[in-house]
Amino acid sequence: NGNSTVSLEVRDTLGNIIPAISWGPVSKSGTFSVTIFPSTRNAIPPEPGMQTSNTQIFQTGVMKGYTATLTVIVDANSNPYSGWQNSKDNPFIINPKIQTIHIASVAGTAGNTQNLDNSVIQNTRLYGYYLDLALKVPFNWRWPLEGGNPIWKAYTKIEDYIISGKTNFLDWYLMPDSTRVWNRRVVPTYKFEPPGNPVNKHYGINNQSDYTLLDTSGKFFASPKIADIDGDGYKEVMIGSLENKFYAFKHDGTILPGFPYTTGGMIKSSAAIDLSGGNAKIYFGCDDNKLYGIDKNGNNLPGFPVSTNGPIKSSPVVTDINFDKQNEIVVQSGDGFLYAYNSNGSIMSGFPVKYQNSIDAFGYMILMPSPAVVDLDKKGSKDIIVASYDSTLIAYDYHGRVRSGFPVRLDNIIYSSPVFVKMPDGAFKIIVASGGGTVYKINPNGIIEASLKLSAGFISSPVPVDLYKDGKMKLLIASQSGEIFYLDISNGLNLISTFKTVSDINSSPLMADVNNDGYLEAVYASMNGFTFVMDRFGNMDEPTTGMLMPFSSWVFSSPAISDLDNNGKLDVVFASYDKTIGSFEFSGTNTNSEIFWSSFGNDLGNTRLAGTPDSVSPITDGLGAVFNYYNPVKEDFTIFRFEAPAGTEKIDMKIFDLGGEKLLELSKSNFINNGIYWEYKWDLKNEKGTIAANGTYIYKVEITVNGKTYSKIQKLAILR
């Protein structure tokens, strides 16, 4: 009521006033509203790899942000002091979702000490009591941990303090529950950054730190994998922890002999599992810069671990990338390089290759995207897709060479892992989401076919799926601000529906028929510990969600699903920061219940492919596919390949120009048998050692198998 004089002063982290958002004094009359920070992400931006500032229990320091002072001088005649009583005030703030957050009761959602609402947790002793907009506490008090630790649980005496009218238990802030608060060391001297340095700076654990947050790790960041690694007919759950241990749990929750396996650093990398050859091999990265390979007994595989020059927080991919009938392991490292290893731990030819300039110095990258692998254009070897902190998407062949058309520049840092989708026409597309909130659909030539700005940012990876079983691919992806988007990707990118939740979603979903309705549902977990099921129409499946239980802390990792105990019903596994792993059975499922996307990375090898890969089987007779890549040739070489039996008796290949003049003739001794293929790398020189000119050429492959002759003719173009 009445008149007032108002001013707002906003300072940056250097202590300088920001004129664009500071103002006053100005005169106001009656009720008015004030925008303090137009954007809290600008005022205190999250450090790279995080979705919020100074609330993440795994961060290594604090971010300095803007400070603001709002001064309201009221007219004493129309607003006497006696009118300023808490019982008559209703202070509130408005969050970025345009939700009114009243500070009139302390009934908040679990895990958030600020989001207060009268309709939540009404059984708290403080329900209905008014709170101050701010409480003055000593500089060294300990802030409640995010994730199931609202202030009345972290400091139980605050209830008596408020109920007594603030006359008793004035020292409530000296009696925390030590398991629910930050352990914080305060550096006595607060220093602004000297002029010339970046305005927004992350303070890590060093002598320049303002605050160092210690002893705050939860347990599970990595996502679980489910597989029968010991051959007993029951599935095991494999997962790494933030306490430097890798676990293998039996279906009954007991630990497999030989586990946990101890590493030299935190494990944020989700494992890839190779069950080929009858012996389980488990691969995962670690913050100690190593890629580990262990067997079912927790013993190191020959040649492992191998070391890189940076922390490995991405998840490895295990697959046969060159069709040599042996699986290789591909992983991104925090040193900015992509590594590819043979199964004996030796580095593959052409690797490592640098995929980004950004380096994970001092562990500031909390998470990293993981690679995806598929044979994009069906040439007989697989391609590796890598997303980067440099805002680029890059495709490599198995020699470590960048594919034509790449890298592709996106609008922001990429935290989310890219995925492949096989469209109904058999073509592959790359789907990737950026930290800037845009989803992209990219073809194998690096052309962005469609993009759609949806949110403030994505960490969760997208999952393509035929939701309605109509042959048209859809896409599910969840945002940092808690929306779940359903998109039609059959023709471009078109938004179908949006479901809004109340918490950030950083984990990726699994897709399975968990309610036995014949269609696939999405199973999600959110940062407030809530786990839930979404149906194909974009609505929460409440009866099936009721089979799950919430966790008391964040769930950052993605769930996994399988039949753990062989009872014919599907079990879903979640892992949380509250140091627990939960397994829940979907009672309505059976042995025929479909699983489409089983875990983070989809399959055990983490290839991230939605759809069936084109299988390439060894040809037993005759001449199969004949091709060269790349074609057209834009470098100083090309590779000829053709399918033929390993026992091929004779090979003759000739290259001609369009005038019929022979450039080169090759025999069997020139070719290498690479599993199902015969291969020759041509340096573009003719028989006289002269490099072939630009133009179109013809080549003929003729082979003899079991006394029979087969031949095929192909064209190639040189455009150098």
Domains defined along the chain, listed by start: 4-48+59-103 (no CATH), 219-610 (2.130.10.10), 625-718 (2.60.40.4070)
66 phi, psi to nearest 5 deg: -70, 155
CA dist 390 and 277 (Å) reads: 39
Proportion of the chain above pLDDT 90, given as a percent: 48
Q: What are the pLDDT digits (tens) for 256-309?
A: 999 999 999 999 999 999 998 778 999 999 999 999 999 999 999 999 999 999
Strands 609-610 and 419-422: parallel
* 291 strand-pairing partners: 285, 306
- Residue 51 is predicted with a pLDDT of 59
Given CA atoms 659, 662, 666, 667 in this order, what sign does their dihedral have? positive
3-state secondary structure of 671: coil
Q: Per this entry, what is the length of the chain?
A: 720
* 667 strand-pairing partners: 652
* 441 strand-pairing partners: 431, 450
Neighbouring CB atoms inside 10 A of 386's CB total 25
What are the tokens at 521?
Answer: 């549902």
What are the tokens at 88?
Answer: 């008559």
- Computed over every residue of the chain, the mean pLDDT equals 82
Q: What are the pLDDT digits (tens) for 385-435?
A: 999 999 999 999 999 999 999 999 999 999 999 999 988 888 899 999 999
Given CA atoms 454, 460, 466, 471 in this order, what sign does their dihedral have? positive
Q: Is the pTM of this model over 0.75?
A: no
- Residue 147 is predicted with a pLDDT of 55
Q: What DSSP element (H or E) covers 163? A: helix 157-163
Chain-centre distance of CA 380, in angstroms? 29
- Residue 521 is predicted with a pLDDT of 96
Q: What is the DSSP letter of 77?
A: T
Weakly modelled stretches of the chain, pLDDT under 70: 1, 47-63, 80-124, 126-140, 146-148, 183-218, 361-364, 611-621, 674-676
HSE-CB for 248 with a 13 A CA cutoff: 26
Q: What are the pLDDT digits (tens) for 617-641?
A: 455 568 887 888 778 888 888 888 8
Beta carbons within 8 Å of 677's beta carbon, 6+ residues apart: 323, 380, 641, 642, 643, 644
Preceding omega of 369 cis (within 30 degrees of 0): no
What are the tokens at 20?
Answer: 């664009």
| CB neighbour class for 192 (10 Å; exposed up to 12, middle 13-18, buried from 19) | middle
| Among 296, 336, 294, CA closest to 312 | 336
Q: What DSSP element (H or E) covers 43? A: helix 40-43
86 phi, psi to nearest 5 deg: -55, -35
- Residue 109 is predicted with a pLDDT of 38
**Measuring CA to CA, how many Å separate 202 from each of 67, 146, 220?**
16, 20, 24
- Residue 227 is predicted with a pLDDT of 93
| Among 421, 489, 423, 430, CA closest to 454 | 489
CA dist 464 and 512 (Å) reads: 13
What are the tokens at 67?
Answer: 């400070």
